[in-house]
């Protein structure tokens, strides 16, 4: 009995001691030189600069002087964000920075259903009707492919500064300045611009209040995890230092959200951000308007914060129900039409809400391990979200069929686009033809990455502390995973709703540890007390009622019977 995953052990030989194991763990993350190790283990905020992340300093200078002019002449500025956590946090960063400097500035986040993603002609037209005499738009987490929208703004006497991190197209919009890098999340780019604005303003006016280099790092931390950017280099630095600020945040909105979600803010880590906080912040934009999520982050009123936190949590429950309904429908469609035998999953339906199709695409990838495109089918236009498998650049793949698309943008692992509904069948045929050429059977093998083989005698609190040195964990910096062989099942039982999870006690004859296998209840009937198994797992420090113990979180298991 075994699962469908291929075990890939990065360190083949026996590990002698914990010092050697730390070296192995770092090398497995491509951190080898003394300089790289020091940078990784001892991150400094001073290492995060425009130069270090590859932002064009000339473009930054253009952006700063245009913003300076707007502040001096009391011109109306609009910070035009995106409706996800990254865009919301980046919008908050720039709006708060400019507002603190006396700028006449208003935040604006487009409505996903009514205005679509990013800077658009409709979005500009709508904000002009609500905000008088707009002279400058600064985008956050969008704009790098907003060609027609920027042209429309220019024709209407509005300058545009783009701040974005999405993959570049073959050309650039005719914006006044473009502050861009793919090395950060969108909020990270906004933070760099904010930092430059504050620094340059201080140079021009030495009497100004001293700059707080840590300001807004808590928001960058939220966005960095939520947007699934690689947690290496500057991103790891911003997250590690940002988590320190987040754990002691004074923002009423975040404190209210922590309370509503039932989490201890002083212990917030990548998991809490990705699985508890981000879904609530994202829920508003998926079903309604993200402005309430932005208000929650920026409010200084405790009562309003509590009201908004309750709204976000209740909306998230609605979002979960809608997502699950669409997921079940899409999964059934794939199975009934045997699409899982193809190299690309392409599912469209008029009942799918645009705000959840990205989540549904992700669930399809999890279930069938194929690149998945899910579309909300409209009368004239259909909106799509795509998610990918390892080592397959989904946004470049979709761009191969640009002749059928209204717009497209995103990252190598996630993308979105708009297509005229009458072109859906042509687009599907084109993409399936390309997928046939680019993907092979190896593309659909789930590789389970394992850092090293160790024995149970290796596992203790000292090892747990060593592992913590590598945190925070996430994309490109996964939690260390180990394999132990011929361990014995001493106790086993099903837990959770409908017995979805397995709880064990496992031993090697001498050392014994509790273990949990989430979502693996379906294989429990093949496991018995006394069986010898090989297990893949991570090590977790589990504290309950003041008692501390180590627990193994099982990722895969192979019976030796």
- Is residue 317 situated within a structural domain? no
Question: Quick one: 61 and 179 in the same domain?
Answer: yes
Question: Quick one: 192 and 125 in the same domain?
Answer: yes
Identify the pLDDT of residue 203.
78
At 545, is the secondary structure helix, strand, or coil? coil
Specify the CATH number for the domain of residue 536. Answer: 2.40.50.460
* Distance, CA of 454 to CA of 550 (rounded, Å): 15
User: Taking 90 as the threshold, does the pLDDT of residue 300 lie above it?
Assistant: yes
- Is residue 240 situated within a structural domain? no
* Distance, CA of 96 to CA of 109 (rounded, Å): 15
Specify the CATH number for the domain of residue 432. Answer: 3.10.310.30
Q: Please compute the mean of the pLDDT values over residues 83-107 and round it to a whole number.
A: 96
Specify the CATH number for the domain of residue 87. Answer: 3.90.1640.30
CB 183 within 8 A of CB 160: no
How confident is the model over 433-445, as pLDDT tens digits?
999 999 998 899 9
Identify the pLDDT of residue 2.
40
Question: Quick one: 415 and 534 in the same domain?
Answer: no
Question: Quick one: 376 and 503 in the same domain?
Answer: no
- Domain range enclosing 433: 337-444
- Tell me the DSSP string of 476-528: TBPPP-EEEEEEEEEEEEEESGGG-EEEEEEESSS-EEEEEETT-GGGGGG--
Question: pTM for the full model?
Answer: 0.90
How confident is the model over 448-493, as pLDDT tens digits?
999 999 999 999 999 999 999 999 999 889 999 999 999 999 999 9
* Distance, CA of 518 to CA of 496 (rounded, Å): 9
Tell which residue, 119, 159, 126, has the closest CA to residue 140.
119
- Is residue 323 situated within a structural domain? no
Tell which residue, 494, 501, 506, has the closest CA to residue 531.
506
Show the CA angle centred on residue 476, arms to residues 222 and 81, nearest 5°.
Answer: 35
At 134, is the secondary structure helix, strand, or coil? strand
As a whole number, the mean pLDDT across the chain is 93
Question: Quick one: 435 and 451 in the same domain?
Answer: no
Identify the pLDDT of residue 213.
56
* Distance, CA of 332 to CA of 318 (rounded, Å): 22
Identify the pLDDT of residue 212.
64
Which of 183, 215, 247 is the last residue in one of the domains? 215
User: Taking 50 as the threshold, does the pLDDT of residue 1 lie above it?
Assistant: no
Identify the pLDDT of residue 370.
96
Q: Which stretch of DSSP H or E encloses residue 254?
A: helix 252-261
Q: Please compute the mean of the pLDDT values over residues 287-303 and round it to a whole number.
A: 95
Task: At 400, list the tokens.
Answer: 């191969």
CB 216 within 8 A of CB 93: yes
At 409, is the secondary structure helix, strand, or coil? strand
Identify the pLDDT of residue 204.
72
Question: Quick one: 191 and 143 in the same domain?
Answer: yes
- Tell me the DSSP string of 165-217: -SPP-SS----SEEEE-SSS-HHHHHHHHHHHHHHHHHHH-TTSPPP-TTTTH
Question: Quick one: 19 and 104 in the same domain?
Answer: no
Question: Quick one: 455 and 429 in the same domain?
Answer: no
- Is residue 542 situated within a structural domain? yes
- Is residue 291 situated within a structural domain? no
Q: Please compute the mean of the pLDDT values over residues 268-282 and round it to a whole number.
A: 96
If pLDDT is split at 50, 70 and 90, which confidence band does 104 have? Answer: very high
- Is residue 250 situated within a structural domain? no
* Distance, CA of 226 to CA of 140 (rounded, Å): 15
Q: Which of 51-65, 117-131, 195-209, 415-429 has the lowest average pLDDT? A: 195-209
- Is residue 156 situated within a structural domain? yes
- Is residue 162 situated within a structural domain? yes
Question: Quick one: 368 and 493 in the same domain?
Answer: no
Residues 424-447: b if buried by 16+ CB within 10 A, e if exposed: beebbebbeebbeebbeeebeeee
> Structural domain tally of the chain?
3
Identify the pLDDT of residue 509.
85
Question: Quick one: 456 and 429 in the same domain?
Answer: no
Identify the pLDDT of residue 11.
87
How confident is the model over 188-245, as pLDDT tens digits?
999 999 999 988 877 777 766 555 657 799 999 999 999 989 999 999 999 999 999 9
Question: Quick one: 100 and 168 in the same domain?
Answer: yes
Q: Please compute the mean of the pLDDT values over residues 160-173 and round it to a whole number.
A: 93
Phi/psi for 233 (5° steps) reads 55, -130
Q: How far is CA 255 from CA 156, 274, 282, 296, 364, in A?
A: 41, 17, 17, 10, 34
Question: Quick one: 199 and 123 in the same domain?
Answer: yes
Show the CA angle centred on residue 165, arms to residues 33 and 167, nearest 5°.
Answer: 95
Of the chain, the percentage scoring pLDDT greater than 90 comes to 84
Which of 215, 245, 260 is the last residue in one of the domains? 215
Which of 382, 411, 444 is the last residue in one of the domains? 444
């Amino acid at each position: 009995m075994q699962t469908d995953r291929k075990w890939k052990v990065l360190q083949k030989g026996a590990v002698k001691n914990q010092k050697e194991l730390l070296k192995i763990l770092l090398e497995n993350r491509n951190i080898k030189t003394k300089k790289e190790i020091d940078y990784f283990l001892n991150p400094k905020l001073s290492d995060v600069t425009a130069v270090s992340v590859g932002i064009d300093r000339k473009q930054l200078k253009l952006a700063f002087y245009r913003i300076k002019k707007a502040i001096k002449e009391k011109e109306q500025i609009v910070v035009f964000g995106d409706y996800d956590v990254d865009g919301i946090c980046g919008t908050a960063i720039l709006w708060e920075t400019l507002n603190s400097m006396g700028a006449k500035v208003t935040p604006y986040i487009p409505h996903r259903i009514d205005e679509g993603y990013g800077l658009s002609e409709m979005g500009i037209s709508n904000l002009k009707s609500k905000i008088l005499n707009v002279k400058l738009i600064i985008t956050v987490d969008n704009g790098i492919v907003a060609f027609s929208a920027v042209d429309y703004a220019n024709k209407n006497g509005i300058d545009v500064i783009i701040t974005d991190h999405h993959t570049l197209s073959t050309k650039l919009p005719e914006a006044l300045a473009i502050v861009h890098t793919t090395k950060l999340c969108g909020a990270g780019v906004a933070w760099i611009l904010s930092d430059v604005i504050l620094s340059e303003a201080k140079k021009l006016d030495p009497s100004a209040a001293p700059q707080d280099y840590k300001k807004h790092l808590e928001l960058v931390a939220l966005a960095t995890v939520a947007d699934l950017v690689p947690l290496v280099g500057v991103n790891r630095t911003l997250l590690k230092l940002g988590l320190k600020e987040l754990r002691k945040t004074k923002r009423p909105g975040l404190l209210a959200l922590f309370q509503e979600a039932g989490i201890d803010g002083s212990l917030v880590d990548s998991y809490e951000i990705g699985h508890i906080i981000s879904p609530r912040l994202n829920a508003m934009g998926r079903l309604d308007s993200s402005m309430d999520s932005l208000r929650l982050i920026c409010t200084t009123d405790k009562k309003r914060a509590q009201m908004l936190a309750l709204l976000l949590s209740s909306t998230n429950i609605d979002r979960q129900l809608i997502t699950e309904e669409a997921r079940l429908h899409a999964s059934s469609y794939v199975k009934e039409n045997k699409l899982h035998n193809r190299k690309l999953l392409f599912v469209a339906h008029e009942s799918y809400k645009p705000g959840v199709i990205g989540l549904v695409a992700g669930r399809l990838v999890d279930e069938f391990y194929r690149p998945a495109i899910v579309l909300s089918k409209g009368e004239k236009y259909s909106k799509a979200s795509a998610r990918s498998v390892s080592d397959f650049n989904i946004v470049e793949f979709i761009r191969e069929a640009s002749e059928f698309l209204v717009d497209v943008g995103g990252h190598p692992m996630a993308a979105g686009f708009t297509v005229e509904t009458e072109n859906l069948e042509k687009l599907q045929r084109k993409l399936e033809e390309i997928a046939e050429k680019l993907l092979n059977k190896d593309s659909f093998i789930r590789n389970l990455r394992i850092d090293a083989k160790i024995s149970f005698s290796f596992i203790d609190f000292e090892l747990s502390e060593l592992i913590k040195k590598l945190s925070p964990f996430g994309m490109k910096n996964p939690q260390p995973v180990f394999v132990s062989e011929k361990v014995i099942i001493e106790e086993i039982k099903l837990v959770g709703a409908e017995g979805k999870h397995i709880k064990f006690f496992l031993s090697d004859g001498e050392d014994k540890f509790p273990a949990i296998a989430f979502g693996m209840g379906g294989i429990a009937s093949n496991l018995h007390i006394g069986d010898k198994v090989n297990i893949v797992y991570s090590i977790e420090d589990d504290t309950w009622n003041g008692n501390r113990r180590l627990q193994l979180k099982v990722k895969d298991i192979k019976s030796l019977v």
